[in-house]
Structure formats: C-alpha cells, structure tokens
Structure 1
Amino acid sequence: MQLKRVVVTGLGALTPIGNTLQEYWDGLVNGKSGAAPITYYDTEKHKTKFACEIKNFNVEDFIDKKEVRRMDKFAQYAIVASDEAIKDAGITLENVNKHRVGVIWGAGIGGLQTFQDEVMNYAAGDGTPRFNPFFIPKMIADIAPGHISMRNGFMGPNYTTVSACASSANALVDAFNYIRLGMCDVIVSGGSEAAVTIAGMGGFNSMQALSTRNESPETASRPFDATRDGFVLGEGAGALVLEEYEHAIARGAKIYCEVGGGGLSSDAYHLTAPHPEGIGVIAVMENCLRDAGMKPEDVDHINTHGTSTPLGDVAELKAIKAVFGDHAKNININSTKSMTGHLLGAAGAIEAIASILAMQNGIVPPTINHTTVDENIDPSLNLTLNKAQKREIKVAMSNTFGFGGHNACVLFKKFEN
C-alpha cells in the first residue's frame, strides 16, 4: 500500500504568551514569560501562588454567551484555537468532503473546573444531589472535539486521546496515520487544557511537582538550570490542520510543512517519574526516525519536553545523547515551556506549532531563565539558552511525555513540492 503524504495547512494558538498564532510566535522569539500570580482564586493558603494563565481574553468575543455556559474552559479554548487554524487553512464545507474531515483532539484532564465546582457545590449543600444538567457533557474529555465537529459540520473520525501530557502529541500521530492510510482528507488536531484550578494546583503541589518560586514567578520555569525546582502549570490550546498532500494542492492551500513521522513508546517504569536513563525516550525518538525514514544526523532542531523538573530534564538530554551521538551537539535543542509553562494535554500541540514556526522562520526560540549550569548536563549541547538563534531548519522534532510513562514524538520536515 502506498502511504499518502501529509502536510500542515493551518495553525491556531491560544497560549499564556499570546492569544493568536502571531502573538504566540512573537512571544516565543522575544523570550516572553507567561508566568504571573494566579488571578482565578485566592492563593493565600496555597503552596504555589502562580501559574501561566491566559490573559486579556474574553471568550464571548468568540463564542455565543449561551454556548459558553455549556462549555468548560478547556472546550472554550479548543474552539478558539481550532477556529483560527481552520480559517488559516481555508477549510470550508464547500471545498472538502465533510465525511472525510475528522477531529482528533488531546486533553490530559478535561473539565476539571466543572468537576471541582459541581462537587464543591454538592458538598456545601444538605446532601441532596443537585447537579447542573450540563455537568457531565461539560466535564468529559472527549467533548472538545465534539464541539469542534458540530461547530463546523465535520463528520469524519471524532475523538479525544488521553495520555496525560503526551495527549495532543498522541492526537497528532493518530491524525497523521488516519490521513496517510487514506481514511481521511483533513483532520483538525491538537489539544487544550484548563487545569489552573484549586484542585489542579493543589494536586500537583501535593506531588511536589510544581515550582514554589513565588517571589519570582516569571523566572520559575527554568529547564536545564541547576536551580530548577519543578514545572509551572499553564493553560490554553493549540490546533493544527493536517491534510493529505494532493488534496491540499488541489484546493491551492498554503502549506507550512510536511509531517515526516511519528513515534510512540512507554517507559513501563513508574507512575510519575521518568526512567533515569531515558529508556522510553530513546525508544520513542528512534521509532519516530524509523517511521520517517530518516537518520539521526538529518535532525536540526528538537523542541524537548523539558518541563523544568530535576529528574525529567536530565533523563531527556541523556536520551538525546544516546540517539544522536556526536551529532547531538549540532542540534538546536530548546524548551518553550520556559515561557509558556506546562500546558499538560495541550503541550504537544503548542510545541509542535513552535517547531513548525521555527522551521518556517529560520529562528529557534530560546530556553529562558537559565542562570546556573547543571553539572549533570553535557555542556556540549546547544540548549538555545536565553536568546533566540537563527539557523536553517530542514527537520524538526517535538518530544512530549506524560505521567504513566507515555511518550510521543512527532517529526516535521521542510515542505518540498
């Protein structure tokens, strides 16, 4: 069977450093931090008092007020980002077969705010089970692609991938496979998350996973730095329109890049900690390269998972050294989580977008907030520290990993007709 070529024809982003694709890219290149004190609730008794929230955002500018009441924030974010990507791609029901357009979306948690609110309201009452009739359809993780499908009339495959922080990268790999196997012409893919809540922050704090640098939130996410003390929680959404090459050409679509390959693996090691030698990460990058038919020396840029945790950053860089050998020092490695924070199930999507825009613009966004060298990290690696770097990128790789040992890797290559 001859596999189809898959290209990216639309992008959309709603992030803590920019509410549109262009604002997001500008924030990345300029090393903008999205971290600030939390505004959603009183943090007085909380261990971590900051996060990377969406800013200057009014959802009713995008979605009807009546519909907003029926959606958790993670679904609202999905609508906004996907609307931008679909418009960017020029997809309409007039130029596609709606039965061959799908939506495959990622969410690690789903409607956490809705769940929290409904349970707390019940607990504060007299024990009578009074719940909002939209409680369940607002909360469930699969509802975001359902809304995107209904909003646009797309009738192809429609579901959510849930693999913790690897969820939206997982969704991209699934979308890529559906199209190259000839089962769809177009798939809107990506992910969204809205976990900056009392429950979300409290839960991650109890695991000692979050930074507690309350005196300086904007510098708290510091991947690869010796003084890193945990990740910074973020929220938002990223959307990509993946399309079969011939279909895109036939309708005269703008093409950002080609999807070269995708890889998946499992650590099979620990609930939350990565394997210290990065065994699963080695496997996922090797699987991705094999799927793309490429050699390690073909890769120019890697957007790492790079969460700013003591264990995870070192394990991932060890894995990169193991896979790429001496070529690793020639790769521009970065972590855009230093700016956006960790968007959990949406991380893979917004970081895939960052990788694609880096390739298109010939600029690798920086890993900001690096001040202290970690003796456990090979100094020969170019971690793109503190300042964006210009370079030609023909092949870019994006890594995303999740609790439970889930690993996903997506490879993009410069489009050649």
Structure 2
Amino acid sequence: MKEKIAITALRSISPLGDEPSQIWENYGRDSHFFAPMTFGGNTALVAPLPKDLKKGIAALKTSEPKYKTLDDSVLFAIYTARKAVSDAGWSPKDAFGVNIGSSRGATSLFERYHAAFLEKGHTPTLASPTTTLGNISSWVAHDLGTQGPDISHSITCSTALHSVLNGVAWLQSGMCQKFLVGGSEAPLTGFTVAQMRALKIYAEHPPEAGPAHHYPCRSLDLAKTKNTMILGEGAAMACLEPQGAAKALAHIVGVGYATEPLQHNVSLSTDAVCFQRAMKMALGKSSAEDVDAIVMHAPGTIKGDLSELGAINKVFGTKKPYMTGNKWKLGHTFGASGMLSLELALCMLQQQRAVPVPFVPEQGQPQRLERIMVNAVGFGGNAVSILLERA
C-alpha cells in the first residue's frame, strides 16, 4: 500500500443489533443469537435480525413507492449505508464511490418471482431489474444522491472484503477521494438453507445433546466431528478516506488477496494456500509479531476451520496472535460476513479487549491491541486479508 487508508465510519445491522454500543454489549455476552425457523415444513437454526430492526426495514420499504419492490438485501444496504454516511459527515457533493457486494443478491425476491413464473408462465414487469446484482450499489447510490462510481459484485463469502480492496485501490489511484464499501445479505430462505444442507455443512436441528447443544455453531472448535455452519443475515458498510482524515476510527495498513487452484467447487487445501498468500501480502514488510489478533473466517465447518488454522500456523509459526471470530454467535452472513468481522476487529481496537469464543481454550488477553488481521474466504478459494491498525 502506498499509504494508510482511514476508516471514518462503520455501521452494521446484524443479529447483534445496529447501534455500536449495543453491538459491543452483545459481544461481551457468552450467548448466541440462533433460533429455529421453519421453511416449507423443514426447520433449521438461523440467526435473524432483531424484531425492532425488521420493523425499521419494513418502514423503509413503505417510505417510498419505488422501494416496495426491492429485495431485503437492497433494503439492508440502504438502511446501513445511510447511517455510515451520516456518521462520516459525507454529502452528495463529495461524489463518493459506492462498492457493495453480495454473495446471493436478491435471493428472496428471485425465488418468489421464479415460483410465480412456474405457476403462471410469465413474470412481473420488474422481475429482471429488481433481481440483478448491480441493484444493490445502484439503489444505495441513488438513495444517497452521490454521483461517484457505483459497483456491485459477488465473490461469495469474501465479497465484503473484496469491496474494501476495491475502495483502497480507487482511493490510492487518486480517482476518488471517498469510498463507501461493504456487503449485504438476506439469505434466510428455504432454498438457500437447502443448498447448504446439500453440501452437508449445515448444523443439525435440533442439536445433539451435550455441551455443543449450548453453542450449535462450533466455529473455532477444532475437535468437532460434525459441520456446524448456520446462516445469519445482515449488512455492514465502512466509509474509507485517504490517510489524514480528521476522525479516523482505525487505519487499513495492509491488504492481501489470493486464489488457489481447487480440485472441486468448494474445496480448500489442507493449509489454505490462498490464506497464506493473502496474509503474507497484507503483512507486507511488517513483522508477523506485530499482529496482536486475528478475526478468522472460521465458518464452523471441520475442513474450513482447520484449513485456516493450518495457514495461520504456516505464516505465524509458534507465535500465533490471539484468534477469535463471530460466526459462533451471529452465524455466517455470506457476502456481509467479512465486513462484520472487520467491525469486530474495530471494536476490539477501540475497546482494547479481545472477544473470546466461550468454548475455545483460554488464550489470555493480549497485552496490547494495536494491529488486528481480518480474514475471509469464499467458494473458489478467493481469500482476502485486511490488516487494521489502531487510530
């Protein structure tokens, strides 16, 4: 990186809530946010948004006639982007860029339109424009009134951190002075859950009796014998500006990315070569000992968790940073997950306290939290690592 990039605002909606103080308070609890939900007669554990947030999204949907036809993934992004831009003090005159990604996009809306097509043989007029992936950033840019570039993309579960990469590149090129980046995902549908179950990675419901019953997603439990991934929903947005911004919350001091050749669609090598390359690139000339903690991707699957740990062992050796994650608490939010992990890292830097995973052996609180690495990886072995530094 040519220079540090400042994060001047970061807002989210997730099962933890939408206010920073509320989110940090929920991180301080050992409880998770999973509940059973029924999809067409089948029940699965999921992590939905709180009811009050659902009401806020519903109110947004009815605030303007044109918003009534939008999918929740778009509404989540609009709701969260408004808060982030307000916190940063940006205005449309800034002509800031927008890059918001999603793994699935307008999942629920697409499924409803397709069901109607199968029944009636034709689709509603707005079926195509409201289900394209570019729908997310375009509507956010429209809602905020910015005239800067707007980009949408999907790189599965590393989507949000790829948005950060793009924002950094635009800022360091000098082509834009401010960039809104993030991810949004509303995947709690029967078809999406069925796809994850078909991969045999989803947590059982009801969970088996025993200690795991209390924490159905065993993210970072390296002794688990079954896959335990659970879906959650949410969105998170960060406002990026060049170094020197007046009110930086933290600085991005390193970015890394890599893709590894795969033997099949969802595989990772035993020690995740893509993660090794991404973390080394993010470190740059910094010493591995300068990293105080890692917020891991750790989806709660046997191979996913072990592969990432294998990569960390290769890069950091015996002096591994404090390792943590949030999917045991709020689930896997696909394209939004990387930014929610970045939010956890930011909270830890600000509060100077590492958030433990309750069923993971105690690692001991770090003496300092100055630099935290955040990891994400998606189907296809697309890994991203971001190195954050305390402001």
Question: What does 1:1-400 correspond to in 2, within 5 Å?
Answer: 3-38=2-37, 41-42=38-39, 44=41, 46=42, 49-56=44-51, 57-58=54-55, 59-63=57-61, 64-93=63-92, 96-98=93-95, 101-125=96-120, 127=121, 129=122, 131-215=123-207, 219-225=215-221, 226-227=223-224, 228-246=226-244, 248-249=245-246, 254-269=247-262, 270-290=264-284, 293-328=285-320, 331-370=321-360, 382=363, 389=365, 391-400=367-376
Specify the code of the residue in structure 2 equivalent to 1:112: T
Specify the code of the residue in structure 2 equivalent to 1:405: G
Distance 2:206 2:235 in 1: 25
Whether contact under 8 Å (2:184, 2:236) holds in the other structure is: yes
* TM-score between the two structures when normalised by the length of structure 1: 0.86
Residue-pair matches, total: 380
Please give the secondary structure, in 2, of the residue aligned with 1:139: coil
Please give the secondary structure, in 2, of the residue aligned with 1:342: coil
Whether contact under 8 Å (1:289, 1:296) holds in the other structure is: yes
Q: Which runs of 4+ in 1 moved over 6 A?
A: none
Distance 1:81 1:31, change over 3 A: farther
Whether contact under 8 Å (1:36, 1:218) holds in the other structure is: no
Which sections of structure 1, spanning at least 5 residues, go unmatched? 371-378
Q: Which residue in 2 is equivalent to 1:376?
A: none
Distance 1:310 1:271 in 2: 17
The structural deviation recorded for 1:4 is 4.4
Please give the secondary structure, in 1, of the residue aligned with 2:98: strand
Distance 1:34 1:97, change over 3 A: same
Distance 1:36 1:341 in 2: 11
Distance 1:281 1:300, change over 3 A: same
Worse overlay, 266-275 or 58-67: 58-67
Worse overlay, 132-141 or 299-308: 132-141
Distance 1:21 1:145 in 2: 24
Please give the secondary structure, in 1, of the residue aligned with 2:252: strand
Whether contact under 8 Å (1:31, 1:365) holds in the other structure is: no
Q: Percent identity?
A: 22
Distance 1:211 1:411 in 2: 31
* TM-score between the two structures when normalised by the length of structure 2: 0.92
CA RMSD, aligned part only? 2.0
Distance 1:157 1:194 in 2: 24
Distance 2:14 2:134 in 1: 21
Whether contact under 8 Å (2:94, 2:178) holds in the other structure is: no
Q: List per-residue Cα deviations over 1:87-111 (Å, max 9, x = no partner).
A: 1111123xx532xx10011211101
